[in-house]
Amino acid sequence: MRCPFCGFTQSKVVDSRSKSEGRVIRRRRECLSCLRRFTTKEYIEESPILVIKSDLRREAFNRKKLKQGIMRSCAKRPVSVEQIDAVVGQIENNLKDRSVDEVPSKDIGSMVMKLLKQLDHIAYVRFASVYRNFQDKEEFLAELQDLN
C-alpha cells in the first residue's frame, strides 16, 4: 500500500475493524518511512447477478424486489419478517453459489415456490397464482390438489 503522504510503499497495519456486516474491513496503517497514519478499506468485489426476464430483458438481481414479492404473498399470514429474510437469503446464497453471471427469472420463481411451499401453503398458492399466471379456475384447483 502506497503512503498517500510520501509515496513510500511499505506500511504496517496498526488496527483492523470489520464494518458493514463483515463486507468491509477498515485498516489503520502507519507508513514505515514518514510514520504518518492513514486509513484504507477493503471491499469484496462482487460481479452482479443478472436476471433474464421472460421477455429476454436483463436486470440486476434485486434482493429488495424479491423480498417485497414474497412479503405480498405472505400478507396476513403467520410468517415473520425473519422467516422471509431467511428465504430471501437462502435464494441469494443459492444464486451466488452457482457462480454464474446470469440466471433466468423462472429459476428464481421456482426456488421461491419450493421454499414457500415448506413455509406456508397459502403464501405458496398466492405466489404461484401470480408466478404461473393462472388463466382459469381449473389451473388454480390443480395447484391446490398438488399440495395434498
Q: What residues does 56 pair with on adjacent strands?
A: none
Q: How many domains does the chain have?
A: 2
Tell me, yes or no, whether 63 and 115 share the same domain: yes
**What is the C-alpha separation between 74 and 68, in angstroms, rounded?**
10
Q: Which of 32-46, 58-72, 95-109, 122-136 has the lowest mean pLDDT?
A: 122-136
**Domain span including residue 140:** 50-147
C-alpha distance from residue 123 to each of 20, 90, 132 (Å): 32, 17, 14
In a domain, 6, yes or no: no
Share of the chain above pLDDT 70, in %: 93
The model's confidence at residue 10, banded by pLDDT at 50, 70 and 90, is: very high
pLDDT in tens, 83-97: 999 999 999 989 988
Tell me, yes or no, whether 19 and 71 share the same domain: no
In a domain, 2, yes or no: no
The model's confidence at residue 146, banded by pLDDT at 50, 70 and 90, is: confident
| Confidence (pLDDT) at 135 | 67
| Confidence (pLDDT) at 136 | 67
Q: What angle do CA 20, 21, 24 make, to 5 degrees?
A: 50
Question: What's the average model confidence in pLDDT over 36-65?
Answer: 91
